[in-house]
Structures are given as structure tokens and as C-alpha cells.
Structure 1
């Protein structure tokens, strides 16, 4: 894609069998609140003792968005934790041709393992296949390649689960309110991830017959579009009870529009887990009451998985000798009751 709008940063699940990261995978990011630490140290690896030296090539995104920057930082910080790990990191790119060239350079350097968050999973599938054929295992991070042969392990977020848990939270808050109304500020509609989030949200609301979704507006995961599209929603909808916004970065703009309109007659649920959203939830002095996580700590877990692959180890807490083929992270709901536990993982 040309400058992939911040939009396609999150991956599409192509139906690969997924293992919940909520299981006791100590080599991957834990969603257990009490284990939350700094963004890059939220979990211990399968074996923290130095082992065989491993060179990990990391090809990530251009850090033009808070979540994307957090992805890159989590990878760097996690690799620095291990004295035997060398991280060969490319300059992040949202241009598919540029990223293919960067990955081919890492292949030519004969790194031991590759961690790739592709600018476009489908477009970069061939370079993933090239790495695998060269004997370099690939950890496919979030935006999935079109072929499972292009990676050894996929790890990423759960877009359907985000919508489902957002809908459940809103449903529980409004379950006793007759004729409750909700609105949705989505991402870009031509992205499968946006459709998955909306589908999960709609499926959850089916369990609450008293709640009706009265409006939906698609934004573009930016502050500016969030503000503009939210202003349109507010103008069109003079009364509603809850708002689900797919992304905390576009949510900054949405909150500006809400403040400018002087509206406080509803509550808002965000998505992704930015620090600014968690700070607002903790302050509890505005409409934002919760956010549904899409954890950038997945990049730290990808480094753990790459290290385990390079050292021919499995995942701590599991009996298998090999790492899983697929890991889907859980989309926890952060509220004022648990925000302190998740704040260390909030991205800027």
C-alpha cells in the first residue's frame, strides 16, 4: 500500500488455529494483571539464563502512530534484556517495496530468526517464503502473511475479540436501561480488521435486546479523522448512551469533538490501550470509562519466541518441545478498577 494509513497496522486473522496468550505462556506477554510490568518486561522468557547466541532480524513498521512506535520499542527493549541476543533492526517502513528490500538484506546477513510485522501481509508473503526456504524461521507479527508456509509462528491481536469485549462491557453497563442507544466510531471499512471489530461488537449486543446501535461512522485511525467523524456523529445523534471507538489514537480527536460539543450524556469505550486513554480512565472525570486492549507488547513476546526458536527451546509453561504455530492475544477491558495494573503497558 502507498503510505499505508496508520490504518492497516493491525493484522487480519486468516483463520489459523490460534492459542490464547491467556494460557500460562511465560515466554509470551501475560494478560494477568498482577504480572504487568514495564511495557517490554511484562513477562519472563521460558528461560532467562543466557543461552546460545542468537541474532534476530526485526523488520517493523514506520513509527508514525503511538501503537506502531510502541511495537518497535517493545522489540528493542525486550532484546536488550538478553545478553546473548543481537537485534538487527531495520528502519521501519510502511512501503512494501522498501520493506521487502530490508528483509532481503537481513536474509543475506544470515540472521538466525526473523521477526516481521509486514506493511502488507499479502504483499510480503513471498519474502516470508524466501526467508523460510533459506532456513531462517519467521515470526509473523500481527499482520498475517497470506500463506502459513511463510512463517513458523504467528502472534498478534484479536480484532473480533476487541469488538466482542467492548460490546459485552457496554452491554453490562446498559442491561437495565430500557431502549438504550449506542454508536460506533470505527476504523477504515475496507480493512478486514475493522469489519472483524464491528462484527464482534454487533454479536455481543445481540445478547442485550434492550440496546440498539443507532449510528456508525468510519474514521481512519488518526486524531484528525477521529475529531471530524465524531463531530458528525454528535451532530446527527442528539441522544445516546454509549460510544465504542475502535482506536485510542483517533479517540484523542473524538474526545476533542465531544468536549467542543459540551456533551457528557454518554460514556465511551476506547480501543488499543494508550497511556493517555488509561490516564483519562484513572482520572474518571470525563466520558472515557474503559478501553479494550490490543497489546503492543506482542512485539516483546515475538522476540521471546524468536529467541526460543534460535535456541531450539519450547515455551515455558507448556509441555511441548516446540513453540506454538499461532498465538492470539486476549483483549482485556481496562477500567478504573484495574487500570493501575495495566498502566505500565500503556503506549504513548
Structure 2
């Protein structure tokens, strides 16, 4: 048996949830622990809650962190657009209401300035890739209107990431599964991928990241419905499968040699450089809650996920995880 698969069959190795019995609700004030080994965390109570008991609004997006300021950016499907938090969970501001519906985001520094890239799936101006400054000012748009038609059409835009040279990649994970490469100015360069389960194919290319752990940068793709992570080079050439037996991976975040995966079926998994699992975080024992959108917040338990969709490491290894949820939820996992 493949040793990676064996690890997935040994949940007692990695599931450490001594507080599964904790009841949800506003009375929770103590952190809940999750994880194992070098990857133990505490879920911080009430992190990211809005003033006056307001909901975040539907969360079907991503989380990124500005390395320069430590601020956390959370995209939503609500009219306020992107919520910006301090590390302690206090809301700093909201930006870019016209970018409501960013399904995924990426962040990088360009010329000493932090910039945000978003894949806009819903909202007032859907199906475009946007480049913003940290105040929400639009710096670049890539869409059918600006770049022309692409193979498979502008349908189901789910992911965006940016290579070290500024090349921009986006994926139509809810559409024809093609991945498109643009130059830094938004000119279309090439298209690759396509729907399937074989080499060079994906079935819901849901999230992407640039992976620099193997020398030459690679494109790491969440192949959600094939339940795997796959690698392409930056010219679109297939490299291979990186990890399998995942619970519908949505997004990845890389820190050092580790990779955290937001799995829609109610878990976050940390993988090592070889793609083998080393920790499971927030695993939900109630399968009725897996990958469910309308679960009321009062039925969700601290430190237990229902539908992880977006996530990001910060520089200290803390994780910020966004559940796909009608009312909106973001959890801070503080690394121990």
C-alpha cells in the first residue's frame, strides 16, 4: 500500500480534539486545541466577529496576509467586499465593495508595495481577475473585455496566483477547467489543462499557488473533485500528482516545507514536502455538516470546521481559515 494512503487510514495518529464536546455559542471564551506533534494549535474564541453582532456575510472566498503589516484580508460575497483585520481579530476596515465575490486571492510585493490579486466569481463585476492596492484601488483588470476570449470561455473563474516574474495564472475551475497564463500587463500568453482525471487534467481546478519548494517555481493546483494536488511547471507542462486521498481540496498555503490544505469536507490537513499528511486540524466528526453552506453559526463549534474554503499561514505559522458558510466564519488557529 502507498504509505501516503496508509497515513490517511490512521486517524488516531493525527486527530487530537479533546474538546469535541464543547458547545457552540457566545459563552465560549477558552481556546480549543487541535492538531498533533509539531502542528498543534489553539482556536481563538470570537476571532474576527464584527461589532454589534453583525454577520460577516456569505464567505465563499479566500484569506491572505500582508507580510509587511500583518493585516489579514478576508473576501466575502457581502456588499462590504473585503474585510481587513488586525491579528487580534479586530476589524481595521473594509475595502473594495466593487470586488464583492472574490472567490480566491493572492498577495505579493511589487516595487515595495503590497498588491492583492483576486478572482472575482460573483458580485457586481464577476468573471474578472483584479489587481488592487491595499486600500482597494483597482490597478489592473483581466477579463473578456480587456483580454479577449479564452479557450473554454470566461466561465466559472475560481483561482488566481502570480509567478515570481509577474506572470498571472487563473483557472476556470467551475467551468471548462482550463488554466490561463497572462503576462504582468494582462496579455494572454497560453492556455493548458482541461477537464478529466488523467495526467495534465483536473476536475474542478479550484485553487492554485506558486510552489517554490523544489527549485524552479511550480504551479500547485487543487484538483478538488479528483481529491488531489497536482503540479505543473510555469509553462503549463504536467509534472505530476503531489498528494492524494484528500477531502475535496479547495486552497493551499505554503510555509517553509509545509503545505496547509483547506478541504471542503470539514478538515484542514498539513502536508510535508513529499505530500504526506503530518497533521489534521479541526476534523469534524459530524458528517452531516461536511461541505454544507447554510449551517447556522450557533450550530458550529469552535475549532471544528464544516467547509474550509480559504486559508493562509502567517509568518509565525498561525493559520486563518474561512469556512464556506451563509453567515460567514473565519477561525484563527494559533500555533503552539
**Shared fold per TM-score greater than 0.5:** no
Q: Which has the larger radius of gyration?
A: 1
Q: Of Structure 1 and Structure 2, which has the larger fraction of its residues in strand?
A: 2
Q: Of Structure 1 and Structure 2, which has the larger fraction of its residues in helix?
A: 1
In the superposition, the TM-score normalised over structure 2's length comes to 0.29
